[in-house]
Amino acid sequence: MKIKDIRSKSTEELQKELKELKSELFKLRFQFTTNQLDNPMLIKGVKRDIAKVLTVLKERENAAD
């Protein structure tokens, strides 16, 4: 996920995306724990996507102040 794409979305879309990413992270962690995850680097990628979304949301919050 590119930061440019994230910034083009509305705040509501970002909050929905954040919820989906957290759900996906939970599923990946569960798969990792049960040794069903083939590529553990997927967890790292999802964490980075969550951080990107949170960063953009925080930027918008600070810009509104």
The residue range of the domain holding 30 is: 3-64
Average pLDDT across each block of 10 residues of the chain; the chain has 65 residues. List them in order: 93 97 98 95 97 96 88
Give me the CATH number covering residue 26: 1.10.287.310
Residue 56: count other Cβ atoms within 10 Å of its Cβ: 19
Q: Would you say the C-alpha torsion 20, 21, 25, 28 has a positive or negative sign?
A: positive
Residue 45, SS3 per DSSP: helix
Place of tokens 């794409």: 5
Query: Is the pTM above the cut of 0.85?
Result: yes
Q: What letter would DSSP give residue 10? A: -
Tally the domains of the chain. Answer: 1
